[in-house]
Chains A and B, each alone.
Chain A
């Protein structure tokens, strides 16, 4: 059973470009969470999605960031017009049931904005 998959593992973008990060949850998991880890910091919750629904986006910046989890395909975290401060590791996690606190993490996507 494959774990949580994220791609790309590394992404370099110039300021003003768009970044699209993909996350495929574990097989059988329909709940996806995105976290951001800034350099030398812990992970910060961004958004929680179920298939076709955003359940909790309380950690998402108000502008430029969006997330989706379509009926088919991976979850996408999209950052428009990236700035240097967006440089971070973005982790996706998945869980099997709602309210189940055991989240399985992917290897992360390291975004560098130049």
Chain B
């Protein structure tokens, strides 16, 4: 069965500093990978996705992620965080017979210091 691990439960970063969120997955076939962001009390917004092709994918809000098959990782990065980036971030893998179910990691809560 597929699984997703986000090793960091909380990360605190200063505004303007770089951010990297780790994601490791376990899946037998070619994974379909996603990063979502959830602001407090809100639903999830898709930041970016990887299906195939270029392993470095660009997303919204200045985020990017790199797929590394050899490490089973899909880490999310942002060069310079803004206070509005404080939120919870979820990595997910698409699976199921028709790829219909997403398996989520436990999430990483990001706090931005002024």
Chain B residues touching A, majority SS: strand
Q: Is B104 in the interface zone, CB < 8 Å from A?
A: yes
Which residue of A42, A48, A56 contacts B90 across the interface (Cβ within 8 Å)? A42
Which residue of A4, A59, A100, A107 contacts B101 across the interface (Cβ within 8 Å)? A59
Please judge, given known A-B contacts A43-B90, A101-B51, A105-B45, whether A56 and B102 are in contact too, CB under 8 Å. no
For the complex, count residues of B whose C-beta is within 8 A of A.
Answer: 27
> In the assembled complex, which residues on chain A have CB atoms less than 8 Å from the CB atom of B106?
41-42
Q: Is A85 in the interface zone, CB < 8 Å from B?
A: no
- Which B residues have a C-beta under 8 Å from some C-beta of A? 4, 32, 34, 36, 41-46, 49, 51, 90, 92, 94, 96-107
For the complex, count residues of A whose C-beta is within 8 A of B.
Answer: 27
- Interchain Cβ contacts under 8 Å between A and B, 5 examples: A42-B90, A99-B98, A99-B99, A101-B49, A108-B42
Q: Are A45 and B101 in contact (CB under 8 A)?
A: yes
- Which A residues have a C-beta under 8 Å from some C-beta of B? 4, 31, 33, 35, 41-45, 48, 55-56, 58-59, 91, 93, 98-108
**CA–CA, A92 and B98, complex, Å:** 18
> In the assembled complex, which residues on chain B have CB atoms less than 8 Å from the CB atom of A98?
98, 100
Shortest distance in angstroms between A42's beta carbon and chain B's nearest beta carbon? 4
